């Protein structure tokens, strides 16, 4: 490799390193908290993400037909408490027989 090519190669590496370090700093920007429902490409603050993912008490996320998570209350044979405990006292509307009733912790 000629001296000129060596210098050009070293300069290319230095320029690349400086360019990459400048891009990494952009990820540390401070974002204002956007309004709820904002779907722009602005950066999202922690407060915005927490508000967007807020889940009402005693509900669970279920995927809808469009593939989006929707908060719903459990219904039917089981219920869920705010502690996360799921209670099932029947199946298909028929109560379990006494010998099959037990508290199971998972």
Examine residue 46 and state whether it is found in any structural domain, yes or no: yes
- pLDDT of 81 above 60: yes
Number of domains forming the structure of the chain: 1
Average pLDDT rounded to a whole number, residues 90-103: 77
The conformational region for residue 58 under phi > 0 = left, psi -120 to 50 = alpha, else beta, is left
Task: State residue 102's pLDDT score.
Answer: 63
Examine residue 79 and state whether it is found in any structural domain, yes or no: no
Q: How far apart are CA 57 and CA 60, in angstroms?
A: 9
Task: State residue 49's pLDDT score.
Answer: 77
Examine residue 50 and state whether it is found in any structural domain, yes or no: yes
Examine residue 27 and state whether it is found in any structural domain, yes or no: yes
Domain range for 22: 3-54
pTM metric for this prediction: 0.46
Q: Quick one: CA torsion of 9, 14, 18, 24, rounded to 10 degrees?
A: 80
Tokens 């603050």 locate to 45
């Amino acid at each position: 490799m000629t001296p000129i090519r060596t210098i050009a190669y070293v300069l290319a590496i230095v320029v690349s390193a400086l360019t990459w370090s400048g891009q990494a700093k952009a990820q540390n920007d401070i974002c204002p908290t956007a309004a709820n429902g904002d779907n722009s490409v602005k950066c999202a603050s922690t407060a915005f993400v927490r508000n967007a993912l807020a889940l009402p008490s005693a509900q669970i996320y279920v995927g809808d037909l469009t593939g989006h998570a929707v908060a719903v209350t459990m219904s039917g044979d089981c219920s869920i408490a705010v502690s996360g405990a799921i209670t099932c006292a029947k199946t298909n509307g028929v109560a379990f027989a006494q010998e099959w009733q037990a508290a199971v912790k998972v």
